[in-house]
């Protein structure tokens, strides 16, 4: 059956979550109330033991350390990627004032009147601008979140009409911030390659002109955080994702580890990094993109600034030859990354389901 054009889908009226919150509704509208099986576990005290804390990578040891420090940190990085798919980076060499500025200005952006934000509407079926992405039907549950997203690099992915004029220096700050984060992604990909025994430029070579996008997620408080989700479970369609949690934000990000949702405890000034679908495919599943979600908080709001770094839409991707042989068959087919990106943004967020696009179905030999 031919897919239904997105512009003709009936997604119904989508409430703006901040406006909804202002009306202090006595009950949460049904479209936000999750089915029993999807409702979050919020008791993070039970789960936050040192063993369940994300690995912490000291970037300065990789960039400036002596040989011994570099090797030991590369090893830590490799274990973090293989066992967690998520880690926090400290001493990342991005100006802390820049992190603070992007946080303050993003917050200011979301605090503006709705009509100001609606000058940058996210068109149905697209992912740039202000609005709720990944909504495709009237009966789909909605996330307790407002989003504002922009394509950054290469320039042809930009939609200049969506770059905000207010607050005054936000666009400029996004530009500067993205440059810093882009370098960090490039270095991390180099270290990840080295940790895998590949040449440092192995990923960059495959990627071509990498695509970079930014998304600010604002999660208002919710009177019933036990019923809603801030962001539905998903893996990221990128190669690498960099997430900044604004200062003073409550715990909200959770990752699925051994079938348990583990909360990510924010470390001041650290950045959270995770492996996306592209690296899972390239490493033939040695590194996996881990499912994660965000939960809401009863009293506090939460802001995150997320950068997605991915290959050029033009490249063909598949497992790299270092990761398969007669005994380790290819688990993913080759595909065009642009097609994958399109598939990702035209489907609702649903755990790791989008990656089925690239999976080779194992034949039942019995």
Chain residues that interact with Ni ion, rule: CB under 5 A: 236
**Beta carbon nearer to ligand OGA, 195 or 266:** 266
Q: Which is nearer to Ni ion, 81 or 198 (CB)?
A: 81
Q: Torsion-angle region of residue 258: left (phi > 0), alpha (psi -120 to 50) or beta?
A: left
CA pseudo-torsion sign 59, 60, 61, 62 = positive
Out of Ni ion, ligand OGA, none, what residue 105 binds, judged by CB under 5 to 8 A for its kind, is none
- Tell the smallest beta-carbon distance from residue 365 to ligand OGA (Å): 37
User: From the list Ni ion, ligand OGA, none, which binds 252 (C-beta under 5 to 8 Å, kind-based)?
Assistant: ligand OGA
125: DSSP letter: T
Which of Ni ion, ligand OGA, none is residue 294 near (CB under 5 to 8 Å by kind)?
ligand OGA
Residue 253 or residue 355: which is nearer to ligand OGA going by CB? 253
Smallest separation (angstroms) from ligand OGA to the CB of 63: 26
Q: How far is the CB of 130 from Ni ion (least distance, A)?
A: 18
Tokens 């274990």 belong to residue: 79
The DSSP bridge pattern shows strands 292-294 and 231-234 to be antiparallel
Q: Which does 311 bind (CB under 5 to 8 A by kind): Ni ion, ligand OGA, none?
A: none
Query: Would you say the C-alpha torsion 144, 180, 91, 55 has a positive or negative sign?
Result: positive
Of 50, 65, 307, the residue nearest 178 (C-alpha): 307
Which tokens go with 243?
């997430």
Q: Which residue is nearest to ligand OGA (CB)?
A: 304
Handedness of CA 36, 215, 256, 11 (dihedral sign): positive
C-alpha 142/C-alpha 34 separation (Å) is 9
Q: Which residues bind ligand OGA (CB under 6 A)?
A: 215, 217, 231, 236, 243, 252-253, 292, 294, 304, 306
Task: Return the one option of ligand OGA, Ni ion, none that residue 317 interacts with (CB less than 5 to 8 A, by type).
Answer: none
For ligand OGA, the closer of residues 164 and 252 by Cβ is 252
User: Which CB atom, from 198 or from 216, has the smaller least distance to ligand OGA?
Assistant: 216
Contact 287, 195 (CB under 8 A): no
C-beta separation of 293 from 231 below 8 A: yes
- CA–CA gap between residue 245 and residue 364 (Å, rounded): 44
From Ni ion, ligand OGA, none, interface partner of 89 (C-beta below 5 to 8 A by class): none
- 16 neighbors 146 (Cβ within 8 angstroms): yes
Nearer to ligand OGA among residue 146 and residue 304 (C-beta): 304
Nearest distance from residue 105's CB to ligand OGA, in Å?
17
């Amino acid at each position: 059956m031919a897919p239904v054009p997105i512009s003709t889908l009936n997604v119904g009226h989508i409430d703006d979550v901040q406006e909804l919150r202002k009306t202090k509704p006595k009950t949460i509208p049904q479209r936000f109330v999750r089915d029993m099986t999807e409702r979050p576990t919020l008791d993070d005290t039970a789960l936050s033991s040192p063993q369940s804390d994300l690995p912490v990578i000291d970037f300065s040891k990789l960039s400036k350390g002596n040989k011994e420090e570099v090797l030991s940190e590369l090893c830590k990085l490799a274990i973090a990627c293989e066992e967690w798919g998520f880690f926090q980076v400290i001493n990342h060499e991005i100006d802390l004032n820049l992190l603070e500025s992007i946080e303050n200005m993003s917050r200011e952006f979301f605090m503006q009147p709705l009509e100001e934000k609606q000058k940058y509407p996210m068109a149905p079926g697209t992912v740039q601008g202000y609005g709720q992405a990944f909504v495709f039907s009237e009966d789909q549950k909605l996330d307790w979140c407002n989003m504002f997203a922009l394509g950054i690099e290469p320039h042809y992915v930009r939609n200049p009409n969506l770059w905000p004029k207010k607050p005054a220096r936000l666009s400029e700050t996004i530009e500067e911030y993205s440059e810093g984060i882009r370098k960090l992604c490039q270095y991390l990909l180099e270290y990840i390659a080295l940790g895998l025994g590949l040449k440092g430029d192995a990923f960059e070579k495959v990627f071509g002109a990498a695509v970079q996008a930014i998304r600010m997620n604002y999660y208002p408080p919710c009177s019933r955080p036990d019923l809603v989700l801030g962001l539905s479970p998903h893996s990221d369609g990128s190669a690498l994702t960099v997430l900044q949690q604004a200062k003073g934000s409550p715990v909200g990000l959770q990752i699925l580890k051994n079938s348990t949702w583990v909360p990510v405890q924010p470390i001041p000034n650290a950045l959270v990094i995770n492996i996306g679908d592209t690296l899972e495919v390239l490493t033939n599943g040695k590194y996996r993109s881990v499912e994660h979600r965000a939960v809401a908080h009863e009293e506090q709001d939460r802001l995150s600034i997320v950068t997605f770094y991915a290959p050029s839409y033009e490249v063909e991707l598949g497992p790299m030859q270092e990761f398969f042989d007669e005994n380790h068959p290819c688990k993913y087919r080759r595909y065009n990354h642009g097609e994958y990106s399109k598939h990702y943004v035209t489907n609702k967020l649903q755990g790791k389901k989008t990656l089925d696009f690239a999976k080779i179905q194992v034949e039942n030999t019995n």
